[in-house]
Amino acid sequence: MPSELSHGHPRFSQDMSNSSVSTPSASLKNLEWQQRNPEDEEYHNKQICKWTYQDVVDFMFTAWDDLKCENLDINFAELSGSTGLNLLQLDENGFKQFSKGYGDRIYRYFLDYRAKEERRQSQVESHQPYFTNNHLYSTPYEMNGDDNNYHPRVTSKQSPIVCETAAPYEVRYERLDHRELRFEDGSRYMPSSLNYPTAAMKTYIPSNAHSSPGVHSRVAENISDIEHSNNEEEPRPEPPKKRGPGRPRKPENELKKKKKKTGRLWEFIRNLLLDPATCPSLVRWENPEEGMFRFVQAEKVAQKWGDRKQNKDMNYEKLSRAMRYYYKTEIFEAVLGRRLVYKFGKNAKNWRPSNPNFPDHQTP
């Protein structure tokens, strides 16, 4: 049987059954300085030149959403396989191949995004402190109500160096005076080089630098804490617990984590249905005229949703509960008697496929 997940799709070519994906919420025990696979990062967390096809698709959907485009007008046949490097080489006409109606606007949106990335880069070059908790870039656009275009948001006050995260493998950006940024292969980042700093970089303190209390010492403490707790704690008998109804309170130390915008579940599902990389392999249309579709690989869809929400515990059971909540708002309609089948309701927008299940898109 041909794997439906390959398709030359960089993200999907990973072994999706591997449940040991590292996320910030992954158990801190057994953690060393393991680095997140750069391909696990979402597109706004990495340089455009490192975008995979999936990142490009995510970017296009985000642009389409943010630009409040009326109809979904993305030519996946043209877009298929494109990476960030490809996008960087395109002009407006190139973007129009991907979207006849919105190519020009998406192109400007992309240029703005790119300008933002370059400005971040120049901040690093000029040794200005720039730091986020766990990613380099934040959503960089805002709408100008007058001309309906997007413009880079200028945030003049970027708060320097606040590091609260306990995940020791997350990147720390700091002033570069006493430190070096390095790429994964250990080579040094030079501000003038073509390679921008990435979220996969580590920071190093040269041995001759003054050791000052700060991020790194805190990281080290975290690691030693982890090792400590790993070695010290003996298994203790768990009292038999019977929980009451409802969602249990999260442990204190897991609260207050800043999450990024992830979009709504029904839009995520819709996007899977409109993308030949995921339709019909993960989800497929049963009756596109009526908006009826079916989960083909329900657990994998849930896993992808969990990836997006940085929730390694997501599964189809929980995802389907969220799907059922949409019945009330008529985003989805119940399809009685058919397992794994749902239907878009009257309040769902832009789900209508131009090429349902992409019959001509099978890879040889």
Task: Point out which residues bind DNA (CB under 7 A).
Answer: 243-250, 254-259, 261, 264-266, 298, 305, 309, 311, 313-314, 316-322, 324-327, 329, 334, 336-341
* Cβ at position 64, least distance to DNA in Å: 18
Question: CA 61, 67, 73, 79 torsion: positive or negative?
Answer: negative
HSE toward the beta carbon, residue 179, CA cutoff 13 A: 20
Question: CA 50, 53, 58, 62 torsion: positive or negative?
Answer: positive
Distance CA(129)–CA(134), nearest Å, equals 15
Taking the least distance from each CB to DNA, the nearer of 70 and 317 is 317
Taking the least distance from each CB to DNA, the nearer of 157 and 247 is 247
Query: SS3 of 283, please?
Result: strand
Q: Which of 285, 279, 297, 268 is nearest to 335 (CA)?
A: 285
Taking the least distance from each CB to DNA, the nearer of 150 and 266 is 266
* Cβ at position 338, least distance to DNA in Å: 7
Q: Which of 272, 266, 271 is nearest to 323 (CA)?
A: 266
Which residues lie across from 285 on neighbouring strands?
A: 293
Q: Which of 47, 49, 151, 65 is nearest to 108 (CA)?
A: 151
* Cβ at position 304, least distance to DNA in Å: 11
Distance CA(169)–CA(175), nearest Å, equals 18
* Cβ at position 47, least distance to DNA in Å: 23
* Cβ at position 67, least distance to DNA in Å: 16
Distance CA(314)–CA(279), nearest Å, equals 21
* Cβ at position 181, least distance to DNA in Å: 27
Tokens of 6: 């390959």
Q: Which of 334, 344, 336, 301 is nearest to 319 (CA)?
A: 301
To the nearest 5 percent, what fractions of the chain are helix, strand and coil? 30, 10, 60
Q: Which helix (H) or strand (E) holds 324?
A: helix 316-329
Taking the least distance from each CB to DNA, the nearer of 237 and 245 is 245
Taking the least distance from each CB to DNA, the nearer of 104 and 333 is 333
For residue 71, count other CB atoms closer than 10 A to its CB: 12
Taking the least distance from each CB to DNA, the nearer of 157 and 328 is 328
* Cβ at position 283, least distance to DNA in Å: 13
* Cβ at position 335, least distance to DNA in Å: 7
Tokens of 262: 């992830």
Q: Which helix (H) or strand (E) holds 321?
A: helix 316-329
Taking the least distance from each CB to DNA, the nearer of 118 and 313 is 313
* Cβ at position 294, least distance to DNA in Å: 9
Taking the least distance from each CB to DNA, the nearer of 201 and 269 is 269
Taking the least distance from each CB to DNA, the nearer of 40 and 180 is 40
